[in-house]
Amino acid sequence: MVLVAALAGALGGGEVAAAVPEREELRAAMAELTRSGAAGVQVRIHDEQGTWTGSAGVRELHGGKVPTNGRFRAASITKMFVSTVVLQLVDEGKVVLDDPVDDYLPEFGLDRRITVRMMLQHTTGIFNYTGEPNPDGTVEAGIPWQGKQFERERFRTYSPEELVELALAKPARFEPGTAWRYSNTNYILAGLLIERVTGTPHATQVRHRILAPLRLHDTILPGTRTGIPGPHAHGYYAYQHQGRLRVLD
């Protein structure tokens, strides 16, 4: 398994720090990432040679070494946790993969051809609330994710219901089950389905069914908290505004 975290942002220097055995090609690639604009890089490898950890660049723009045991936001890796809980509920007979999602979440008026299986496999055709590319190269906007508008609203909290309603206000991208397109909206619906079936927050189910049994003590579901507990490097977003570069931590 290879786990790589590259922290985007302004150019950061720094020597590569790594444990033996030495992996010169990988260390060179990590250093190249920092020269290309990543503030820092963190790598952990488990293979037949053992465990290898390394880092390059800086922890923050003003300095500090990237920790090799650093924590970072899992982002869409959380979809694996959510889908696992849904499939466990299927195994328990509480959810049926080929039932309409509308049976579980009727308040949204979903197309009844959309099944739980399609939701997990990104074949629903439901618009991605973070935005979608159009065939002509333009982008159909979702919630703000770049530029000045993102800076103004980056700490806004959307309810899951708001995100689903935003997505459903857009035309479907294709007929259910006829194509594949990645859509974060599918997994907002999956989380809501878990909550409807179990009567508890989806985060509670993930902790109870996955994190606790596997003793993933350093994995948390932070909710609306903006900080990261424990050692970590900072990630950055940079954009041009009125001829000046703005960098957000």
How many angstroms separate the CA atoms of 57 and 6, rounded?
Answer: 10
- Picking from 64, 67, 63, 47, the residue whose alpha carbon sits closest to that of residue 55 is 67
**Residue 193: both structure tokens together:** 């389905």
Residues whose CB is less than 8 angstroms from the CB of residue 145 and which lie 6 or more positions away in sequence, other chains included: 130, 131
**Residue 171: both structure tokens together:** 């035309």
Residues whose CB is less than 8 angstroms from the CB of residue 98 and which lie 6 or more positions away in sequence, other chains included: 115, 116, 117
**What residues act catalytically?**
76
**Residue 166: both structure tokens together:** 């935003």
Q: In 210-225, which positions are buried (b, 16+ CB within 10 angstroms) versus exposed (e)? A: bbeeeeeeebbeeeee
Instruction: Label residue 205 exposed, middle or buried (CB < 10 Å: 0-12, 13-18, 19+).
Output: buried
How many angstroms separate the CA atoms of 154 and 100, rounded?
Answer: 34
Strands (DSSP E) along the chain, which ranges? 2-8, 17-18, 38-47, 50-60, 63-65, 132-133, 139-140, 237-241, 244-248
